[in-house]
Structure 1
Amino acid sequence: MRWVAGTLAVLVSITAPNIAAGQAPPLWATVPEVPALPRPERTGFVDHDGARLYFAVFNRNGGSPVLLLHGGLASSESWGFAVPQLAKTHEVIVMDTRGHGRSTIGPAPLSYRRFASDAIVVLDATGVRKASVVGLSDGGVTGLILAIDHPERVDRLFVWGANFNTHAETTVPPDPAMKGMGAVFMARMEAQYRALSPTPDGFKALRAALADLYEKEPDLAPAELGAIRARTVVADGAHEQFIAAAHTEMLAHLIPGAKLVILPDVSHGGPQQAPAAFHAAVTELLDQPE
């Protein structure tokens, strides 16, 4: 998930939930465990722009292709809820963003357009000319750029918890029930990174590289968003803690014909907090007739 610069340090410093003893936190204040991915039909690596990128394919040639793009600090393992459901009717491709999971970071600074270029190379490696894109947070920003720069490669676009510029942060103080979420998430992501990465001690460097990215990007102009022609859903949780609701609404407004979907009872981690509701929102887009 995307942790904006400045917010990240605050979240990591919080260590204990402010929930009365014996009282379960609300759904939107939880960080659920994600089940393991099913066994893919194909895995591989592709070299691009100084990085070695990991990808996996499920239900190959089993339906219209869907590319899943995870959020910042995470990996393709974050799709443990989504892949088994989507792969029933679609070919599903996952990848680890450069610097994340099994993918190396490369020598160049991180950028969303570099991420988008990586995604095109993965599609090429899997023989997919056009796919629907489902992106979470940073993956959602990458999805926007794919639809802008490579419209011929994007069928439909679903973005969750994405921002289009660096002025998206909410000014609403976080609910006390959310205290401790950042520390739980960060500990899990570091453990996952150590288990998957070819540079297991590089998590601190990844965090620094992402902080540098978030200082400058994304920086998408309204005219760029207005040029998107893919059928699009802009989605988020009603309790989103990082991005202002008005920013999400503006993103949907700027993309021609985009639909705004706000899931109740969840926050930025909604795809894991309410996977059935998230899947229903995604498939409503993917399964619409042309």
Structure 2
Amino acid sequence: MIFLIISLILTFLLTAFVSGNNMSAAVGTLIGSRIIGKNAGLSIGAAGFISGLLLEGDLLKDASSLLPDSYIYVTYAFLISFLIFIIANIIRAPLSLTMALAGTSIGISLKISYKIDSSLIDKMILFWIAAPVISIIISYISERVFFRGPKREVWRTASLIKVLLIISSFFTAFTLGSNTLGFIAVIEGFNFITLAIMIISIITGSFFLSAGVIKRVGQEMYLMRYSNALVSLLVSSFLVEAATFFSVPLSNTQTLTSSVFGVGISYKYKAIYIKPFIIIVMTWIIAPLLGLILGYIA
């Protein structure tokens, strides 16, 4: 019973920090460019998180097989992932909780000789490697093909892109809710109590823990225009949505960062801040490996 209570507390904390930390990826452009107000933007993000969790979160049920169905192991996995996540935030590296939790779960399962479906791990590795590459390529091509050249109806085009940005921001939040938050939910147990706690946590994290990171993605890696942000959000979201339907946990941070980078390199004379991108790439490698090691020795 005690491990159930602890795991629910950790579920609340993980969900709150994930919601707050990823709010910038979903609605940072909307709020930073003042397309809509801060509260409206946060509401869109929170609504997307909750909708994705409720409607598609259980699609990650196959991923729950990475860990034995025991609150003891769930508690250890959540605790280790939470500590990794906190450390990453201290050094201001947008770490993927998805990859940390997956690595930790595998590490714990290896330690106790729990048999994991090898095909699931194969799919995870394939998506983790292919998704960033696909994000960069599609974003690069899309930006050069669809958003270059003379614009005859500038204001109409800008207005349309703003509307599409609002829709794509909601969709980005939706895919994070279905994948990352869905992964947490299926590990804990996809039931009424878990979902109720996570919904409260999403609202808490979205409105009280997002202020410090709300503009980070767009400002530090690449100064995006509306079209840049739209391409990045759409490419990232569709890849994460595809992973969700294959029951593969995939990081929104990973795909969005790659999309932003792809958009950035489509400009011959536009400066891109490489250091933040390199730091983030390092966290993609470190997060699952660190989780695997700590999960194994815990």
Query: TM exceeds 0.5?
Result: no
**Greater C-alpha Rg:** 2
Where is the strand percentage greater, Structure 1 or Structure 2?
1
TM-score when normalising by structure 2 = 0.27
Which protein has greater RCO, CA pairs closer than 8 Å, 6+ apart?
Answer: 2
Judging by fraction of residues, say which structure has more helix: 2
